[in-house]
Chains A and B, each alone.
Chain A
Amino acid sequence: MAKHHHLGTFELAVMLALMRLGDSAYGIPISREIEERGGRGVTLGSIYATLERLKTKGLVYSEIGEPTPERGGRAKKYFRVTETGLREVRETQRVLKRLWQGLRELEGSRA
């Protein structure tokens, strides 16, 4: 049986943001994406801590991008989801769906 990493809520939010942003996933757009869609304020520090954890688990990888003047000449660090990461997101989705099913309290309520 394949080993699963059990993504936490914030880890899942970061993974989904990376998938949505595709090639332009770095600090600022990731935090904006989670703030806008997730409806919660996040700090860049917590995003990078999570990304580093996901990287250690082999679920994401990073690449250094181009420096720009508005960044004080500092380069961007882009993050992308790996194949293992994608599998993990699918697995989490499957597990959550299963947990959701058949709960009468939630039936009829709008997501």
Chain B
Amino acid sequence: MRISKPPIPATWLLEHFLPGSENDHIIGDLMEGFQSGRSRMWYWKEVLAAIVIGVSKETVKHPLLALRAISFGWGTWLLFYYAVAPKVLYPVFRRIFTPSGYPFSPGQLIWTVTSLLVLVGSGWIVARFHRPNRITTVLLFALSVFIVQLRTFPWLWSTAANSLTNTRFLPYLIDGLEIQILWPAAILFGGLLTRTKR
């Protein structure tokens, strides 16, 4: 019998972001469903539904833990943003780089990389302190960051529209998208670093 492979990214998401310790049977069921002729769309829908249901279930079961994890994550980020960065990083940056608001200036790029590293660290801290509910807590923290960043959506939208007629706006659009997409991704990556091989 020829075995066709289900979408690899979907299976990867399932293996890494499905809450709970014993999920092999769910992954096996989805693979079997796909082998029996279900579509790729069905597979993706099932994977996303399984993750959302798993996270919701754990959040309802441990609401205070979820709240604590989100506070931990934001606490780490805000500590860096309001205490460490102004006192340590900015003075150093000012000596090395010419201040510029351009997203791809050396100073801004270093700032972007530093922010991403701090977010990886905050994801790691959240996962490390909530080991039994590691996946749910990290996903919730990343989701909260994504939602907070949605406040820039009107600006992103207008920059995207302007980029169509004037390429000058493109770097600003990329910068905005970086915050919207890479920030939550960095948190998830940090959470995955605490993963132990089964």
Contact = CB atoms under 8 A, between A and B. Distances in A.
Given A43-B49, A45-B49, A46-B53, A70 B31 contact: yes
A6 interface: no
Interface in A37-95: 43-46, 48-49, 52, 64, 67-72, 74-77
B49 A67 contact: no
- Chain B: interface size category: 20 to 34
Contacts of B57: 49, 52
Contacts of B53: 43, 45-46, 48-49
B60 to A, nearest CB: 10
Interface on chain B toward A: helix, strand, loop, or mixed SS?
helix
Interface stretch (B20-28, B155-163, B164-172): B20-28
Contacts of A64: 25
Interface on chain A toward B: helix, strand, loop, or mixed SS?
helix
B29 A44 contact: yes
B148 interface: no
Contact of B28 (A31, A46, A52, A76): A76
Given A28-B36, A74-B24, A75-B24, A45 B31 contact: no
B64 interface: no
A94 to B, nearest CB: 30
A72 B71 CA distance: 39
Given A43-B50, A45-B46, A46-B49, A26 B24 contact: no
A71 B28 CA distance: 4
B29 A26 contact: yes
Interface in B54-103: 54, 57
Given A49-B57, A68-B32, A70-B1, A27 B52 contact: no
Interface of A: 26-28, 31, 43-46, 48-49, 52, 64, 67-72, 74-77
14 contacts: A26-B29, A27-B29, A43-B53, A44-B50, A45-B52, A48-B53, A52-B57, A67-B28, A68-B28, A69-B1, A71-B29, A74-B27, A75-B25, A77-B25
Interface of B: 1, 3, 24-33, 35-36, 45-46, 49-54, 57
Q: Which 8 A-B pairs have the closest CB atoms?
A: A74-B28, A27-B29, A71-B28, A45-B50, A77-B25, A45-B53, A43-B49, A70-B35
Given A28-B29, A69-B1, 15 more contacts: A28-B32, A44-B49, A45-B46, A45-B50, A48-B26, A52-B57, A64-B25, A68-B28, A68-B32, A69-B3, A70-B31, A75-B24, A75-B25, A75-B28, A77-B25
